[in-house]
Amino acid sequence: MMLTQPRRARHCMNPDRDTLDDDAMTLCKKIATLTKSMMDFWEGSGWAQGAAARLLDKSMLRWQTSLAESLSRWVNATSDGDLILAWSNLGALVEGQLKLFLCVYYHDYEKDIAGMRRRGQKIDPDLSQLEELRQFFIRRIWDAGTNWNPYVELVQQRRNAVHAFQRRDIGNFQEWTDALRLHLSFVRDVGGGLPYPDEQFSGLREV
């Protein structure tokens, strides 16, 4: 994987067509299944080498599985507090997917001169925050066919309400369900861009 400057990008705000009839609970189950498969593989496969393997070894990938399995608890929720927590849950999963991608491709990230920086110092992916990840992916990863920034930014804005002491737009549960549909497509896209042996995950889009 080469970290290159993106071409002119289009928005990826359309979910995969095979998910259009899925209800919220079905989407949650598919996201949990796919997330668990990915995290289980990268946590203990030994497929990653060197610094990438060390970074993945100390990352709490099993928490991503638990967070994905927690999505279903918000499906029948109704309160604003629950909606804020539902966005926070989804935001943590978005952040985890971006970190996983950079950890797997850490050898390439290490060679990227710009990288993600904080106070002038380059930071490792596992220490980054969502805004730092989003800006890096805009600059170096997302291209004309895979610009996920509109989706990531939407989730980021909604989940930031958990830190607010003044009014913010938190959308509604229908918007959150629509975001679940996009998230499944997002996870499929991230997973499809990771290197697996013997096309082990060639069936990612079947989940």
pLDDT in tens, 66-113: 999 999 999 999 999 999 999 999 999 999 999 999 999 999 998 987
User: 166's torsion region: left (phi>0), alpha (psi -120 to 50) or beta?
Assistant: beta
**Residue 178 domain-assigned?**
yes
**Residue 202 domain-assigned?**
no
**Residue 9 domain-assigned?**
no
Q: pTM score, two decimals?
A: 0.89
Total number of domains constituting the chain: 1
CB–CB of 152/94 below 8 Å? yes
**Residue 174 domain-assigned?**
yes
The residue that leads in pLDDT, 190 or 55, is 190
**Residue 164 domain-assigned?**
yes
Confidence of residue 179 (pLDDT cuts 50, 70, 90): very high
Across 172-189, average pLDDT: 96
Mean pLDDT of the chain: 86
**Cα–Cα dist 142/156, whole Å:** 17
pLDDT in tens, 20-60: 999 999 999 999 999 999 998 888 767 777 777 788 877 77
Sign of the CA dihedral with 176 first, then 177, 179, and 180 last: positive
**Cα–Cα dist 196/26, whole Å:** 26
**Residue 205 domain-assigned?**
no
Full residue range of the structural domain in which residue 129 is found: 22-196
CA distances from 90 to 85, 127, 140 (A): 9, 19, 23
State the pLDDT at residue 5.
Answer: 43
